[in-house]
C-alpha cells in the first residue's frame, strides 16, 4: 500500500511542474495581449502557403518581387 505515498508524491510533483509552467507563461507576458497571437498564427500559416506552387501563391510572389 505504500505505493500510494509514491504515487501521490509524483502526482503533486507533476502538478507543480504545470504550476511552474503557468508562472513562466504569466511572467513572460503571454497574458498581456490575448488578441494578436490568435491573429498572428493565421498570418504565419499564410506565409507557408506562399511556398506552395499554387496559382494563387504565384500571384503573391510577383507582389513580393515588387516589394
Partner 1 sequence: MVYDILKENDLCDYYELEQSPGINLNNRDFADRFSYLDNAEIQEKLLDFTDGRMSRVRLFLPAIHCSSCIWLLENLYKLKDGIRQSRVNFSKKQVLIEFLNESISLREVVETLASLGYEPHISLEENDQKKKPSPNRTLFLKIGVAAFCFGNIMLLSFPEYFGFDGGWDDEYRRFFSWLNVFLSLPIVFYCSTDYFLSAYKGIKHRYINIDVPIAIGIVTLFVRSLVEVVFDFGPGYFDSLGGLLFFLLTGKWFQAKSYESLSFDRDYKSYFPLAIHRKEEGEMKPVPVANLQIGDEIMVRNQEIIPADSILVSGEANIDYSFVTGEAVPVLKKAGDKIYAGGRQVGPSIDLIVKKKVSQSYLTQLWNQDGGKVATEQDQHSMINQISKYFTILVLAISAIAAAYWAWEDSSRVLNAFTAVLIVACPCALTLATPFTLSAVLGVFGKHHFYLKNTAGVELMAGISQLIFDKTGTITYAGKGKISFEGAPLNPAEKLWVNAIVKNSTHPLSRKVADYLETDVKLPLLAQFEEVPGKGLIAQVEGREIRMGSAALVSAENAGSRGVQFSSVHLSIDGFYRGCFVIQNQYRDGLKSLINRLKSTFKLALVSGDNNAEAQNLQAYFPENTPLVFNQNPDKKRTYVMLRQEEGEKVAMLGDGLNDAVALQAADFGIAVTDDISAFTPACDAILDSSQLHRLDEFFAFSQTARKIIISAFAISFCYNIVGISFAVSGLLTPVIAAILMPLSSISVVAFATLSVKVLAWRKGF
Contacts with partner 1 by CB under 8 A lie at 1, 4-5, 8, 12, 15-16, 18-19, 22-23, 26-27, 29, 31-36, 39-40, 42-43, 46, 60, 63, 66-67
Could you tell me where the DSSP H helices lie in 28-54?
36-51
C-beta of 42: minimal distance to partner 1 in Å? 6
Answer for the pair 35, 46: CB distance below 8 angstroms, yes or no.
no
Shortest distance, CB of residue 60 to partner 1, whole angstroms? 8
- Tell how many helices (H) and how many strands (E) occur in the chain: 3, 0
CB of 36 to partner 1, least distance (A): 4
Amino acid at each position: 500500500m505504500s505505493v500510494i505515498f509514491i504515487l501521490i508524491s509524483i502526482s503533486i510533483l507533476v502538478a507543480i511542474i504545470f504550476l511552474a509552467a503557468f508562472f513562466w507563461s504569466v511572467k513572460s507576458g503571454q497574458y498581456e495581449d490575448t488578441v494578436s497571437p490568435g491573429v498572428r498564427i493565421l498570418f504565419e500559416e499564410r506565409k507557408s502557403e506562399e511556398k506552395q506552387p499554387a496559382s494563387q501563391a504565384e500571384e503573391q510572389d510577383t507582389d513580393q518581387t515588387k516589394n
